[in-house]
Amino acid sequence: MIGGFQNIPKIPELKKKIFFTLFMLAVYRLGCHIPTPGIDGAALSAFFSSKQGTLFGLFDMFSGGALSQMSVMALGIMPYISASIILELLTVVVPYLEKLKKEGEQGRKKITQYTRYGTVVLSIIQGFGIAVGLENMSSPGGAMVVPFGGWGFRLLTVITLTAGTAFLMWLGEQITERGIGNGISLIIFAGIVARFPLAVANSFRLMGTGEVTPFFMALIVALMIAVIGAIVFVERGQRRIPVQYAKRVVGRKMYGGQSTHLPLKVNTAGVIPPIFASSIIMFPATIANFLNVKEMPWLQYVVTFLSPGHVVYNLVYVIFIFFFCYFYTAVHFNPVDVADNMKKYGGFIPGIRPGKNSAEYIDRVLTRITFFGALYVSAVCVLPQILIYKLNVPFYFGGTALLIVVGVAMDTTNQIESHMLTRHYEGFMKKGFGKAR
């Protein structure tokens, strides 16, 4: 593997792409520290310190801490992700978008253009909501987050936050086109990893004060390595359905006759289910922050039961993860289209009739492996809740953040390795790290 890294500088094009990607990520991290005008930073920091376990904490994680500092990039890349998911879901119910999706490069460019428009619209709506919310926020000590509010502050905040998200979207597209690829994913990756040194420093501080023993910390590190290994193992796992193509004679040439397979990932939905599940389950606690909970006892019970670490919270979280795993897999993968394409080109599954029977068989296999994929995602996401709130682990690992970090790291490694292999250099692993089992 060390030899693989040593081969990177020998490829000028790859070296240029990596340096460009690192420069773009550095620009992003620099922008996360430019504050939005008109906000009391000390009062805002105190407010966010008291609001962990809500949607504020979730969005702050994806923005790399930019939301808690209310920088110009406070919205992060989440509006772009939301717009992308909405467009992808609409392709199922809107015939025009479905037609664009099947038109290849031109259709994809048009959908990308609609996604950009949707990102700007969502950023304006979210920016206005944040501006109004900031005017009503105060620190636990009573200091107002926005000393001088009004429409001037709201308009300035909307323009600033929307421009920050549009700039982030441009950065991601530049990394995808001129860097090593996966620009949007790398921006999220950089935001999450940027908080890791602070967590490590906090852990050493607790060890120095005696609050955490070295043996317990070593046990946690070993558990982290095991969780990362399990994520890599499952994310690379596939259920390969054998496909046989019949021989066809076209003119004087014979085509087909080869055997191949249809790969089905265990976790087809990726990190979308835990993101959606976290957003929905944290919504009541977020709304409660703007209401007087003491005057509504029923809301107090809801907030208590849906607080991270509670048994009801974990149960509802797992249910939502299962639902979105099946829902997103059904939207993202259509067995009928796959079976029709196989039949069109003379392919068939041995022992299964082409057409409807093949679609039913693929759907049945996909349903089974999605169940185990949902179990895996639930276990990884619930593990941090148990460790933090039951065993008092001093830092956060696992869950959506770790799924994103490991997944993006593997995809980026595959991108670099593919560049090296095309230039006849050996990859990171002799047998190829990116090959699925």
In a domain, 183, yes or no: yes
CB of 164 within 8 A of CB of 34?
no
pLDDT recorded at residue 166? 92
Domain annotation covers residue 188: yes
d(C-alpha 116, C-alpha 395), whole Å: 36
Query: Domain boundary at 194, 228, 247, which?
Result: 194
Please tell me the predicted confidence (pLDDT) of residue 296: 64
Statement to judge: residues 303 and 361 lie in one domain:
yes
User: Which of 194, 223, 241 is at the close of a domain?
Assistant: 194
Residue 266 and residue 235 share a domain? yes
CATH number of the CATH domain containing 91:
1.10.3370.10
Domain count, the chain: 2
Given this model, what pLDDT does residue 433 score? 47
If asked whether residues 224 and 362 sit together in one domain, one would say yes
User: Are 176 and 248 within one domain?
Assistant: no
| Residue 110 amino acid letter | K
Do 94 and 60 lie in one domain? The reply is yes
Per-residue pLDDT of the chain (437 residues; tens, 9 = 90+): 555 566 777 778 888 888 999 999 999 988 888 888 888 777 777 776 665 555 566 566 666 667 777 788 888 888 888 888 788 778 878 888 888 877 777 888 888 899 999 999 988 988 888 888 778 777 767 777 788 778 888 899 899 999 999 999 999 889 988 888 788 888 888 888 887 777 777 777 877 887 777 887 787 788 788 888 888 888 888 888 888 887 766 666 666 567 888 888 888 888 778 877 876 776 666 566 555 555 666 666 666 666 666 778 788 888 988 998 998 888 888 888 888 888 887 788 888 888 889 999 999 999 999 999 999 988 888 876 666 655 555 555 556 778 888 888 888 888 887 777 776 555 555 554 455 44
Domain of residue 144 covers 1-194
Residues counted in the chain:
437
Residue 413 counted as domain residue: no
Q: Which pLDDT value is given to residue 437?
A: 46
Q: How far apart are CA 259 and CA 247, in angstroms?
A: 11
Per-residue model confidence (pLDDT) at position 257: 64
- Is 154 contained in some domain? yes
